[in-house]
Structure 1
């Protein structure tokens, strides 16, 4: 084999590793998307074929029938790649970097074929044999690459088998308690929670208007109306409820001064604009559900916290306090205001959990720091149902903790995730490197926390479909089918003896 052929093979390995780690595992998280079952199967089979190719090129010189078999394998790999292109375009929107990477991989594979096939055809004319070859470090690189694609291929095939169990509950069922037909404005409707809420409302037959900065890229289900400015809503347009979820993501690190200002301004700006809209509408909405977060309680110990508790000073506390004040001080008279203090929202598609699934699936997960910090969480479907419940419950007003009734410590949280994935969770992430690298972001979101209990939601009669962390994780990873939207037993704190705070 020539030096140019080896260069092309090494380049193919490097680009393939980048595509798998950065796109498939990182930004796209294909293994946790129920819609990508066929693509995962194609990736799995192709990776196993690549393992055979890398071993053959690195350690063998196939002659006769073996050379013909390797040519056939190259042909099958080409067919699978073309099939994969069609499947990707059919089932998902590829980011620009992935399209460029795939184009380069295809062109480079063409170069490999142009140099390798003539060599194999020459070997095919010789007696069938499989002599060993040794190309030094190149052979060992091929071995490492072969092991890597075998692991990746088997993982993709296992993920494809799991994909049907990841199908979410019918979105319409999440909004089943909202009777008649309502017109609802949602800001932040293309976000992690907002997109699921919009899907639920639209599937249940309601008129949904979504405010987003990029209407052309929203990709929301018809007949949702997408607008880029609240000025597009006429004063006479009837709106029954407004759900205000918009804001710069807080979970992106690091928290530079510019980032903090952007987080604060985005929340205050949209909230004030929503209140101005409500004031000018001829028919006022009955309720505004405005976002907040449990960060308003600051950094706390293991004491259970309710909506009546105050907060200790930190950036997230000041942010949430200002966010709630903007809504409370500008709410037009006669409109009911619910401020949702959201905890850690759990689903495979986004949020902190999406970043944890891959390392934990490979047995590389563990607690953050001491593991004693509180993690007050909620399953995303329960979050959507709680928003709908807030719209339909006239007695519910003021702060509402959007968290499940059984908050847990970080150690219990990571142990539960390991159990759901049938993997150990024994590799802790030390606190010092996190503090050094991420500063206040690590301190407030990773190494500290709160044990928050949803008094207001439970007292208003809301039932959680996923009241415990084990129930939530088992659903998210596909161990159990979707729960009934009316599942859950607690209607008040006194009726929930089986839901203690887990340490």
Structure 2
């Protein structure tokens, strides 16, 4: 089989498949850490192993007789698995446009490969059963590299599918158990990382939830029953709202802070908060409480100083954004509701946020500290943050700023070491501060290299109990394993063996 055209199409298939795996499956969609994609991961694993067999065979052999028929059978099975994968993807997740386009091109290119290769295989099928070993030079080298790569990723996908069985989220209803009796709650930003879990918890606990969203398709994936509105004008004046939770805003950590990005970050928060103020003003009965988002960026960059809700701020872009956002939210208090300002730290979970971005590089052994690693990281598990929001709604004495962080912030180097330990990987690939500053400017300085040592003084004083006050506990729960318990188990086994 010496057709340059055929091998060129195979090379294109390899390149598009590598792009799909690395960019979509690993980098943007993070399928290996999504429990919902267990079936898709298993299909990917089997398909990768079939591709490994095909690449090796076509690169170094000419199968004859029954062996040629076997290879044609593998090609047919690959088509069936791909069709099953399409169905699984449509049922379990929303594919980005680039992935859909890439899948279409892969299917078309694979069809062209079949048109060229089937006549060759049929010719070989008419000969006596056996294998003729051949070499196609550089094409064989490409086939070998591709075979080894897809075989390794097949193993990764299979073990990721096995691991996903212990990554399932705990039942959401228990996160809102302090909210009784049932309440009516409006949530903005409901399709975001925190909003999705909050809505799931409220709905599961029997509360009547209305979500405001511009993305109807994402909102449709939220658990029922709930009411979806695309504009606050759709909420009637006589609507009963016991509480409003405002989490909406342009993501602040998903790209560099260009001038347009800075304007969008600030404008989106102010526009939504002002809209909520107008809603509260026209309601026949205003809600009892409004929980409005903010962030620990309000404090600016403060080094090693311990920060509570009474600490002053230092100038920074995030500080200016949070200050303006909080000022607009506090204006709602004059209309009657109790207003709580949720100053959120780094929210940990595998479905989004910082941790989700770190999992892939750390799992591939490319993780490490950022800069010096001495900057403080004020973090909170997503479920504890959802519980804290519900606690804010249920606790009449809470008002004004409340820090949404765990009681034990950690330095970045300790965070990296802990994450690496949970993934059984080294943390030996630091990100240089000079490079980050050159590439990211203020974004890198405030979001990566700077930090705040924030303590949840008001949350603790109000009686809130964190389920995960320590990072080890949080990562153990989120990643489906507990390093501390494993270490204790190993120690116990060592003591038993020593006694023997």
Q: TM-score range by the shorter chain?
A: over 0.9
How many angstroms does 1:93 deviate by?
2.0
How many angstroms does 1:22 deviate by?
1.6
Alpha-carbon distance in structure 1 between the residues aligned to 2:437 and 2:181: 51
Q: For structure 1, which segment, 321-330 or 369-378, has the greater mean C-alpha deviation from structure 2 after superposition?
A: 321-330
Q: How many residues align?
A: 481
With normalisation by structure 1, the TM-score equals: 0.93
Paired residues for 1:117-128 under 5 Å: 117-128=118-129
Q: Secondary structure at the match of 1:332?
A: helix
Alpha-carbon distance in structure 2 between the residues aligned to 1:460 and 1:27: 39
Paired residues for 1:226-305 under 5 Å: 226-305=228-307
Alpha-carbon distance in structure 1 between the residues aligned to 2:453 and 2:295: 13
How many angstroms does 1:394 deviate by?
0.9
Tell me whether 1:445 sits opposite 2:447 in the alignment.
Answer: yes
How many angstroms does 1:463 deviate by?
0.9
Alpha-carbon distance in structure 1 between the residues aligned to 2:384 and 2:400: 19
Q: Secondary structure at the match of 1:284?
A: coil
Does the 8 Å CA contact 1:278/1:332 hold for their aligned counterparts?
no
Partner of residue 319, structure 1: 321
Alpha-carbon distance in structure 1 between the residues aligned to 2:360 and 2:300: 30
Partner of residue 168, structure 1: 169
Does the 8 Å CA contact 2:280/2:335 hold for their aligned counterparts?
no
Tell me whether 1:202 sits opposite 2:169 in the alignment.
Answer: no
Aligned-CA RMSD value:
1.5
Q: Secondary structure at the match of 2:369?
A: coil
Paired residues for 1:390-409 under 5 Å: 390-409=392-411
With normalisation by structure 2, the TM-score equals: 0.93
How many angstroms does 1:106 deviate by?
1.6
Alpha-carbon distance in structure 2 between the residues aligned to 1:265 and 1:98: 31
Q: For structure 1, which segment, 68-77 or 176-185, has the greater mean C-alpha deviation from structure 2 after superposition?
A: 68-77
Alpha-carbon distance in structure 1 between the residues aligned to 2:230 and 2:414: 42
Alpha-carbon distance in structure 1 between the residues aligned to 2:335 and 2:86: 55
Name segments (4+ residues, structure 1) moved above 3 Å. none
Alpha-carbon distance in structure 1 between the residues aligned to 2:431 and 2:397: 44
How many angstroms does 1:217 deviate by?
4.1
Partner of residue 410, structure 1: 412
Q: Secondary structure at the match of 2:21?
A: helix
Alpha-carbon distance in structure 1 between the residues aligned to 2:176 and 2:331: 29
Paired residues for 1:136-215 under 5 Å: 136-215=137-216
Does the 8 Å CA contact 2:191/2:218 hold for their aligned counterparts?
no
Paired residues for 1:45-84 under 5 Å: 45-84=46-85
Does the 8 Å CA contact 2:299/2:311 hold for their aligned counterparts?
yes
Could you list the per-position Cα deviations for residues 124-163 of structure 1 after superposition, in whole angstroms to 9, with x for gaps in the alignment?
Answer: 3333333332222211111221121112111000011011
Could you list the per-position Cα deviations for residues 30-65 of structure 1 after superposition, in whole angstroms to 9, with x for gaps in the alignment?
Answer: 111111111100100110111111111112222333
1:225 to 224, 227, 251: 227
Alpha-carbon distance in structure 2 between the residues aligned to 1:90 and 1:319: 39
Alpha-carbon distance in structure 2 between the residues aligned to 1:124 and 1:184: 67
Partner of residue 376, structure 2: 374
Alpha-carbon distance in structure 1 between the residues aligned to 2:209 and 2:228: 9
How many angstroms does 1:326 deviate by?
1.2
Unaligned stretches of 5+ residues in structure 1: 482-503
Q: Structure 1 residues 57 and 283 mapped into 2: Cα distance closer, same or farther (>3 Å)?
A: same
Does the 8 Å CA contact 2:286/2:335 hold for their aligned counterparts?
no
Partner of residue 33, structure 2: 32
